[in-house]
Chains A and B, each alone.
Chain A
Amino acid sequence: MDFNKNVGQPVSRLEGKLKVTGQAKYAAEYEADNLLHGYVVSSPITKGKIININIAQAMAIPGVVDVLSHKNRTKLAWFDLQYTDMDAPPGTVFKPLADENILYNGQPIALVVAESYETARYAATQVIFEYEQETFQTDLESNIPNGRSAKKGFATALKPPPPPPTGDFLNSFEQAPVKVAATFQHGTEHHNPIELFATTTIYEGKGKLTIYDKTQGTINNQLYVANIFGLHYKDVRVLAPFVGGGFGSGLRPQYQLFLCVMAALHLKRNVRVVLERKQMFFFSHRPPVKQNLRFASDVEGNVTALGHSVFSETSNFEDYTEAIANWSHKLYPAPNTLFNHKVVPLDVYTPLDMRAPGGSTGMHAIECTMDELAHKLKIDPLELRLINYSEIDPSSNKPYTSKALRNCYLQAADKFGWSNRNPEPRSTKRGNKWVGYGMATGIWDAFQFPARVEAMITKDGRMVLNNATTDIGTGTLTVMTQIAADELGLSLEEVDFNYGDSKKPFSMFQGGSSITSSTGVAIVVAAKALRKKLLKKAAKMPDSPFKNSEDAEVFFSAGNMHLKDQPNVFVSLKNIIASNNGKPIKTTNMGKPHMLKLRKYSLATHSASFVEVEVDQDLGTVMVTRAVTAVAAGKIINPKTAAGQISGSMIWGISKALHEETFMDHNLGKYMNTNLGEYHIPVHADIGQLEVIFVEEKDELINEIGTKGVGEIGLVGMPAAISNAIFNATGKRIYKLPIHFDELMQ
């Protein structure tokens, strides 16, 4: 028996060899005959109208084929709804080149198409625009009074507004013996995957397109293109076999897809459009947010009141929201709560989910406030979490399908050496550096979406699986292959998982740490149906020993099907297919969440992060010297790739706390540091020692495979743990992220 031979093993990425030899091809790397290159012209003004475009000079340059703008663009779909996509927030979707109006700085206003990239780029400087400028508002802080409740829509289901108030927050907070009130802020962040956004569109003729696109959702973008350009969805194929990072930026179709497809259809040619790095700052981003928190407790440390109000940026055309104020009451059982969230519409592009959207933002404020409360109470911060530990979800009064957070706290604290913490701030030194310890809790959703998988056994006894999901670097190919191999008792080499193609059966976009549970469950469902079909076929073979066997009476191992009570009796999968005249035996099935059952439960992954920082006493520079994060995320299919997800998102936490921010000049309405030199992300030298612990968490309720997803949870606790460690090191509470050295110098 070799069940679970592969699941749970630290298998190296199966696509690894392609990636280390340069053979993995990304969206801009597909060759096509007579390929044209498009270069996007971005609006230099923030708001207003284009009143004139002169393309004569650009068109006179040899090699320039066309300049597409709102004046000469292809006829497009009329209804706003046709521009919508699976991740569109409520509102009116932005339509590139729709008309003369400019809604935000950097908006695409034309596409120059030429025989070479360099020619297109040069010609773009020769297109002359005249504008009428209007006043604009881009500053969150000065527009807080314009905050309002967000419109509700399809996206609200995944990101619900904060729960209604409970008890009497205002009175209980007023009268509480111990309380903390603080205001937290963080700036805009851009996803900045290292691969530039790109689309290569192959014009196949007769209204057919093959599109290589940088996306986290092949089917999402297939439907988007088909709807807008009036094509049959079967004639649009979107491929994304390799994606050079997403982090949320590929959840919605980005503008290079629209422009590339428009040019290909207009010119009936193959076209590629690659954005420049700075043009990737002209689309979705993590919104700047301001949060006011008010937490109170009794003198023993029992939290009695939780107040959390949020103002987040959105665009003037869509109401993007995140679940920011929803988390504290999922952890801490306070009887009095007051939560609210308002969006502030500004003249910017619509924000979009960026790794652990909302969770990393809200939990930073929540866990820093808890730390401040612990300090006031003179209770160890970890002890305060344990005093307020809840086995159920207090915000809904439902039990969790599983919650091993207590073990996350205990195991990570032990590994980290938390008991050595000096509770007195600014009292521990190592050379000329202040040393501090900090900790924080992490909590994140455990999403599962419906997914369909086609599974088959071919004449050579191999298992082939098809699903439209992408693998943005998370290890999806490897993990799915592991799950499938165990289902049919095969080795990893005998399984082919095909993905990154909208022609394959349905998958949602790859976001919300959902794909292992979504496609993984669909594989299990399809494999079960496949085993049934194989048994049925085997039973019909001449003199078959499986004639009267039930599904539960056979098992699969090493390419054979055996009788459980007579393991020596078996038939090979190859022979079963041979008896089917060599034709594959196949099935297509849907895996879906068990909504009725799960409605009685709360679903979440949890984590605990412990961090040591060193702060230079003179320069205020901060280094995260070491960090331990323990994660409870159900079953871990591949501890190697899963640990990569956690340590990678811990580094995102370091980045959010100490490095990354997009600066806006509100006089110009323009982002100022639109390049990787000035948009800081951690480099190798910024990374100290990081450790990941997966805490045992058996979850038989959540889905067929007991997984909860690991793509984001590692980020959630880190920013607060770092901020709290900086307080322990220096005695300074810094409420704005990222924390810069100047705030720590004195």
Chain B
Amino acid sequence: MRSETQNLNHLKQGDCTVNLTVNGEQKILQVQPWVSLLDGLRDHLNLTGTKKGCDHGQCGACTIICDDKRILSCLTLAVMKNGSEITTVEGIAHGNELHPIQQAFIDHDAFQCGYCTPGQLCSAIGLIKEGKAQTREEVKELMSGNLCRCGANIGIIDAIMEVKAGGGHE
């Protein structure tokens, strides 16, 4: 027990420095190595738009875009992403102008409580960029890592299909 405590002391003194570009801004995180990227964003950078729903990679609420790929920030340690470029839900819109997927979510009533929404949005952007899913069935399958307990599933898929059909190069 004693050695663990000492170990923890040592680590606490030795916070790691993580350089990130978050939504176009340079950010420096000083965190212990076991801090997840999700907690880093939420608790250290106060970017609470990214949500914690399970902390186990099971619900998708923490999905962000990291170096152009959708990832689960709860299953990623912040220290693993030194030098990475990250987009969270706060960085999707261009200033006051919503990203087409954000507007489509509002138009299609693709959320109720709104808690899974940031993850659904980032996942949708990642999915469109991947370019794998073509049909509605494929979109449903490749969005299935993002749970919605309110049951807004149909609106979510409708919104993604609309943006995909409209070009979706974003």
Contact = CB atoms under 8 A, between A and B. Distances in A.
Contact of A644 (B34, B145, B152): B152
B130 to A, nearest CB: 16
A676 B54 contact: yes
Given A61-B8, A683-B144, A194 B51 contact: yes
A15 interface: yes
B141 A194 contact: no
B52 interface: yes
B67 interface: no
A127 to B, nearest CB: 12
A31 B39 contact: no
A91 B137 CA distance: 50
Interface string A676-702: 110001111101001000000000000
Contacts of B150: 245, 473, 644, 648
B38 to A, nearest CB: 11
Contact of A194 (B43, B49, B53): B53
Most buried by B among A26, A116, A645, A684: A684
B113 A684 contact: no
A732 interface: no
B42 A29 contact: yes
Interface string B32-68: 1011000100110011111111111011010000000
B9 interface: yes
Interface in A625-666: 640-641, 643-645, 647-652
B151 to A, nearest CB: 3
B121 interface: yes
A23 B5 CA distance: 39
B151 A57 contact: no
A648 B151 contact: yes
A194 B61 contact: yes
Interface in A99-131: 116-118, 122, 126
A649 B152 CA distance: 10
30 contacts: A13-B111, A17-B102, A20-B105, A21-B89, A22-B50, A22-B118, A23-B49, A25-B48, A26-B48, A28-B48, A62-B12, A116-B43, A118-B39, A193-B113, A194-B113, A194-B147, A195-B113, A195-B115, A196-B53, A245-B113, A274-B52, A277-B54, A473-B111, A644-B112, A676-B58, A677-B58, A683-B145, A684-B144, A684-B153, A685-B141
A19 interface: yes
Interface residues of A, number: 66
A63 B58 CA distance: 30
A276 B118 CA distance: 20
Given A22-B89, A117-B39, A681-B149, A12 B106 contact: yes
Contact of A193 (B9, B107, B115, B154): B115
A162 interface: no
Interface string A237-269: 000001111110000000000000000000000
Nearest to B47: A22
B155 interface: yes
Nearest first, the 4 A-B pairs at minimum CB distance are: A22-B49, A244-B115, A473-B113, A648-B151
A505 interface: no
Interface residues of chain A: helix, strand, loop or mixed (majority): loop
A696 to B, nearest CB: 22
B73 interface: no
Interface of A: 12-13, 15-26, 28-29, 31, 57, 60-63, 116-118, 122, 126, 192-196, 242-247, 274, 276-277, 472-475, 640-641, 643-645, 647-652, 675-677, 681-685, 687, 690
A687 B154 contact: yes
Given A13-B106, A21-B92, A685-B144, A675 B56 contact: yes
Contacts of A31: 46
B72 interface: no
Contacts of A681: 147, 149
Interface residues of chain B: helix, strand, loop or mixed (majority): loop
A22 B88 contact: yes
B49 A21 contact: yes
B109 interface: yes
A103 B141 CA distance: 42
A10 to B, nearest CB: 9
B156 interface: yes
Given A118-B39, A242-B114, A687-B154, A16 B61 contact: no
A62 B9 contact: yes
B165 interface: no
A15 B114 contact: yes
A118 B148 contact: no
Contact of A640 (B32, B48, B109, B118): B109
Contacts of A117: 39, 43
Contacts of B5: 57, 60-61
A21 B90 contact: yes
B140 interface: yes
Given A62-B9, A277-B56, A16 B112 contact: no
B5 to A, nearest CB: 6
Contacts of B109: 12-13, 640-641, 643-644
Most buried by B among A31, A122, A676: A676
Most buried by A among B115, B156, B157: B115
Contact of B8 (A62, A247, A644): A62
A647 B115 contact: no
Most buried by B among A15, A244, A472, A473: A244
Contacts of A57: 1, 5
Most buried by A among B52, B112, B152: B112
A194 B59 contact: yes
A472 B113 contact: yes
Nearest to A128: B1
B86 interface: no
